[in-house]
Amino acid sequence: MDIALLLGQIGGLVVVIGSILYAGSPLSAFWDTPSVALVFGGSIMAALSCYPMGVLFGVPKIVLRALFPKTPPVKETITQLVQFAEVARRDGILALESKMADLKDPFIKSGLQMAIDGTDSAVMEAVLRTEQEAVANRHKTGKAIMDTLNKYAPAWGMIGTLVGLVIMLGNMSDPNAIGPGMAVALLTTLYGAMISNMACAPVGEKLAFYSKKELEVKEIVIRGILAIQAGDNPRVLEQKLVVFLPPSQRASADAKAA
């Protein structure tokens, strides 16, 4: 679980609610059911106009992907590939067949299977990079949906405010209703801004971050498997791959290898 995302979302709500309570205003004054329905419903309808219904129904899965990422750690992936290189160099590449049952990552499994089967390196690289590109495109679609909601939620908040102002101006004969009417009209702008800046934009950026990390791991796997098939020395392979690690982790990996 991404604790940072969870804490960020909860912390944002705590900051807003705490500020309201500190100002001495009741929370009930910041809730208006028609305004919530207008902003949420309008934003979803706008997104539905941009994407097929089946894609939009995947939004809950997209949010869960940001909260529960499945990106393998870079360091563990490098260590695993170096171990495979050691087995292949010592016992031959066919010896990796016994390791296939324990592999959980289908991308590594697919690449190693092609290497064991003697697939041409150019063909193998083309297949793996095509899969890498397909994953990148799926991730782009997920982030694009969150960006769409991020774009339209404030706009629908403004639409709600205009609707509220029109209703309020149509009731100018009652001066006592002007203040509450203005407050309700402004709530839709608040809701739109909160949806955009507390939910959609942060989740979209988190998805982009994990997408970059996952594609980086797949790049490591591609280079590692091609090197294993070429019969590279495991230490040379490790030196090629540790460049993907930050300097602090790279130093610890070099010390372990030494």
Closest CA to 225 of 79, 85, 129, 26: 85
Helix (H, G, I), strand (E, B) or coil at 31: coil
Nearest to 151 by CA among 22, 235, 47: 47
In a domain, 227, yes or no: yes
Are residues 123 and 15 both part of a single domain? no
Is 252 among the domain residues? yes
Output the CA–CA distances (angstroms, integers) from residue 41 to 123, 152, 249, in the order listed.
48, 11, 47
User: Angle, to 10 degrees, between the axis of helix 121-169 and the axis of helix 59-67?
Assistant: 110
Q: What's residue 27's pLDDT?
A: 85
The answer to the question of residue 66 being in a domain is no
In tens, the pLDDT along 60-116 reads 888 888 888 887 788 888 888 898 888 888 888 888 888 887 788 888 888 888 888
56 pLDDT higher than 90: no
Residue 189 lies in a domain: no
Model pLDDT for residues 182-208, shown as the tens digit of each residue = 777 788 899 999 999 888 899 999 989
pLDDT band (50, 70, 90) for residue 250: low
Q: Hey, how many other C-beta atoms are within 10 angstroms of the C-beta on 117?
A: 11
80 inside domain: yes
Rounded (5°) CA angle 6-11-17: 135
Please give the angle made by the CA atoms of 139, 111 and 95, to the nearest 5 degrees: 150
Q: Looking at residue 152, what is its pLDDT?
A: 92
The pLDDT of 154-167, averaged and rounded, is 87
Q: What is the DSSP string of 173-185?
A: T-GGGHHHHHHHH
Residue 254: the pLDDT is: 53
Residue 177: the pLDDT is 65
Structural domain of 5: 1-30
Do residues 5 and 114 share a domain? Answer: no
Residue 253 pLDDT exceeds 70: no
The neighbour count for residue 5, using CB atoms within 10 Å, is 19
Q: Could you give the number of structural domains in the chain?
A: 2
Q: Is residue 194 part of a domain?
A: no
Is residue 63 assigned to a domain?
A: no
pTM of the model: 0.79
Whether residue 177 lies inside any domain: the answer is no
Contact between 233 and 89 (Cβ < 8 Å): yes
The secondary structure of 131-169 as a DSSP string is: HHHHHHHHHHHHHHHHHHHHHHHHHHHHHHHHHHHHHHH
